[in-house]
């Protein structure tokens, strides 16, 4: 440990990890909300075939999980990149696992609804 309080160094890694996790989660949430609104307009005879086809709905359904997966991979890369240099590698590990869990939750609940029949 440290011999005196003047030797304590502040490592802002925890704050950066939390900010990165929240950014990925908010981006995925915003994408999911836009996709849900977009898909909700795909009904009846007014539906635009260009925006409501099966490939478009599949891309809209997979967008949020992909954003979360990219955030998780980035967090794991940061965790293994800073391991040994700082004391906050565990924050990046927690960030990656949290984003993976959120990705699975969004994929299981959102993809069937958005991709539709």
pLDDT for the residue 53:
79
Chain centroid, CA 90 distance in Å? 18
Q: What is the pLDDT at residue 86?
A: 67
Q: Determine what percent of the chain falls in helix, strand and coil, rounding each to the nearest 5.
A: 75, 0, 20
Provide the pLDDT for residue 46: 56
Query: What's the pLDDT at 9?
Result: 57
Amino acid 93: pLDDT: 92
Q: What is the pLDDT at residue 3? A: 60
pLDDT of residue 30: 96
The H-or-E segment that residue 15 falls in is helix 13-40
Q: What is the pLDDT of residues 57-70, one digit of tens each?
A: 888 889 999 999 99
Read off the tokens for 113: 């609804």
Instruction: Report residues of the chain scoring pLDDT below 50.
Output: none
Residue of 57, 55, 29, 27 whose CA lies nearest to 41: 57
pTM for the full model? Answer: 0.81
Cα distances (Å, whole numbers) of residue 44 to 34, 47, 51, 66, 109: 20, 6, 13, 29, 24
């Amino acid at each position: 440990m440290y011999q005196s309080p003047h030797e304590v160094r502040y490592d802002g890694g925890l704050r950066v990890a939390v900010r990165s996790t929240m950014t990925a989660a908010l981006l995925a949430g915003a994408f999911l909300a836009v996709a849900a609104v977009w898909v909700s307009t795909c009904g009846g005879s007014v539906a635009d075939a260009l925006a409501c086809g099966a490939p478009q709905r599949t891309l809209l359904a997979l967008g949020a999980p992909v954003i979360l997966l990219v955030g998780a991979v980035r967090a794991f890369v940061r965790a293994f990149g800073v391991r040994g240099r700082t004391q906050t590698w565990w924050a990046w590990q927690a960030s990656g696992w949290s984003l993976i869990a959120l990705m699975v939750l969004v994929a299981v609940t959102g993809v069937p609804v958005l991709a539709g029949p």
